[in-house]
């Protein structure tokens, strides 16, 4: 048996063997992969904000005679997957183990439809039918039955009809770019805007609909050690934030936050050849939740900031120490000048990132994804250890 392979040509395009499946199979897989994972994020975001740390206990009919919780069903499947743990990725986020049909059952159940219905432009039966039509094609593809090229248009049309409000909701969860005005008089703003230290500033941002708030903690990396190893080659030991540990050590914050992501700015050097790296931690809340539980949330954010500050002081005295949230990391900088070209500084700073790992809290989504098309073009979805596509710029 000969398994021919695809290869990438010089122009970046791929040449696919003729014996491979028709292109509409790949298009269907791409759409369904993104559709199902977008639905997972949406279901999580709504249930998390309605039931907080009890969201995994939400149940839906597993059969006519009994019900099943999200956590119960996922735990069984995770246990089964562990028998073949050497295959694929180790993923234990509960919603990653639910099928699209089960997600639809959750959304359209009598218990939870009132929580979801404002995001759908249609009544429950019509929405459910359209989602189940998508699921039918998904099942054909998943079980290796042939599908028609016309089925792709049905998937696209039903996705557009059912996910208009869902995509808007996801876009606002992912993107907050409007600076909250400094004269805002709401209590939540007053309690949070004053939190900060010399190394951490707190900056709140709104989503476009102002229903979601990103409390951005901007951390200026502290240099613990500096070595010049050779001409124009420097090694630094710096303090960094272990972002998931904020959630693990501050339970009130973890209870009410929707998601936490991080972003690391590109390094630069000062005139004294001291490295400068800024790391932002994004704490995204639904605004009504933030308003209702402002005291608990602001107290926990304040405690987290104070913890980071004191642990940075500890690390500055002993960079081999490790705190609950702050820890040391090594970065390097070197100057490279090709012949007949201008030189530039290069940096190795991957250690500043905190990549998503299976044992991280479900609220931690890893590196911030600034995508405008969440459903159709996200580079990486939450609870995934690697990108599922290449980055697509606005020029592509």
Is residue 168 in a domain?
yes
Question: What DSSP element (H or E) covers 366?
Answer: strand 364-367
145 and 242 fall within a common domain: no
Can you give the pLDDT at residue 240? 94
Among 174, 193, 216, the domain boundary falls at: 174
Confidence of residue 168 (pLDDT cuts 50, 70, 90): very high
162 and 232 fall within a common domain: no
Task: Report how far residue 338's alpha carbon sits from residue 31's, in angstroms, rounded to the nearest whole number.
Answer: 44
Among 115, 143, 174, the domain boundary falls at: 174
Q: What's the Cα-to-Cα distance from 83 to each of 88, 216, 264, rounded to whole Å?
A: 12, 40, 37
207 and 133 fall within a common domain: no
The CB-based long-range contact list for 137-145 (8 Å cut-off, 24+ gap) reads: 137/28, 137/32, 138/32, 138/36, 138/100, 139/101, 141/25, 141/28, 141/29, 141/32
pTM of the model: 0.93
Confidence of residue 377 (pLDDT cuts 50, 70, 90): confident
Mean pLDDT check: name the lowest of 29-38, 45-54, 175-184, 365-374.
365-374
Q: pLDDT tens-digit profile of 74-115?
A: 999 988 888 887 887 888 899 999 999 999 999 999 999 999
Structure tokens at 80: 């089964």
135 and 242 fall within a common domain: no
Is residue 393 in a domain?
no
Confidence of residue 394 (pLDDT cuts 50, 70, 90): low
165 and 199 fall within a common domain: no
| Structural domain containing residue 246 | 178-369
Structure tokens at 30: 């791409």
248 and 345 fall within a common domain: yes
Answer whether residue 395 shows pLDDT above 70: no
221 and 154 fall within a common domain: no
235 and 318 fall within a common domain: yes
17 and 153 fall within a common domain: yes
Structure tokens at 369: 């994804």
Answer whether residue 165 shows pLDDT above 70: yes
Can you give the pLDDT at residue 267? 95
Task: Report how far residue 209's alpha carbon sits from residue 120's, in angstroms, rounded to the nearest whole number.
Answer: 17
131 and 114 fall within a common domain: yes
Can you give the pLDDT at residue 319? 80
Is residue 329 in a domain?
yes
Is residue 189 in a domain?
yes
Confidence of residue 361 (pLDDT cuts 50, 70, 90): very high
290 and 312 fall within a common domain: yes
Among 174, 209, 232, the domain boundary falls at: 174
120 and 217 fall within a common domain: no
Q: pLDDT tens-digit profile of 196-223?
A: 888 899 999 999 999 999 999 999 889 9
């Amino acid at each position: 048996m000969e398994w021919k392979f695809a290869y990438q040509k010089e122009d970046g395009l791929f040449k696919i063997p003729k014996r491979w499946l028709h292109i509409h199979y790949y298009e269907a897989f791409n759409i369904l992969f993104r559709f199902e994972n977008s639905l997972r994020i949406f279901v999580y975001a709504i249930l998390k904000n309605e039931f907080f740390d009890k969201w995994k206990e939400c149940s839906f009919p597993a059969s006519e005679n009994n019900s099943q919780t999200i956590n119960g069903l996922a735990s069984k499947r995770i246990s089964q997957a562990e028998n073949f743990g050497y295959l694929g990725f180790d993923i234990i986020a509960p919603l990653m183990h639910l099928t699209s049909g089960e997600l639809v059952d959750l959304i359209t159940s009598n218990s939870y439809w009132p929580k979801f219905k404002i995001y759908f432009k249609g009544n429950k039966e019509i929405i459910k039918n359209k989602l189940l039509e998508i699921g039918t094609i998904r099942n054909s593809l998943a079980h290796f039955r042939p599908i028609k090229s016309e089925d792709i248009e049905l998937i696209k049309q039903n996705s557009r009809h059912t996910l208009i409000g869902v995509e808007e909701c996801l876009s606002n969860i992912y993107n907050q770019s409007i600076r909250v005005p400094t004269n805002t008089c709401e209590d939540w703003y007053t309690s949070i805007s004053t939190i900060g230290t010399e190394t951490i500033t707190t900056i709140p941002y709104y989503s476009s609909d102002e229903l979601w708030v990103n409390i951005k903690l901007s951390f200026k990396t502290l240099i613990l050690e500096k070595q010049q190893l050779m001409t124009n080659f420097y090694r630094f030991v710096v303090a960094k934030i272990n972002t998931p540990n904020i959630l693990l050590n501050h339970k009130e914050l973890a209870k009410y936050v929707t998601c936490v992501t991080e972003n690391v700015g590109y390094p630069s050097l000062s005139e004294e050849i001291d490295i400068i790296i800024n790391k932002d931690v994004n704490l995204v809340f639904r605004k009504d939740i933030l308003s209702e539980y402002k005291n608990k949330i602001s107290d926990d954010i304040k405690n987290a900031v104070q913890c980071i500050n004191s642990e940075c002081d500890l690390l500055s005295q002993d960079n081999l120490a490790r705190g609950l949230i702050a820890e040391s990391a090594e970065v390097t900088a070197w100057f490279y000048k090709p012949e007949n070209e201008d030189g530039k500084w290069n940096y190795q700073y991957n250690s500043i990132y905190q990549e998503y790992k299976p044992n991280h809290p479900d609220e931690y989504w890893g590196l911030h994804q600034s995508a405008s098309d969440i459903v159709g073009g996200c580079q990486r979805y939450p609870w995934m250890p690697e990108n599922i596509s290449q980055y697509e710029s606005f020029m592509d």
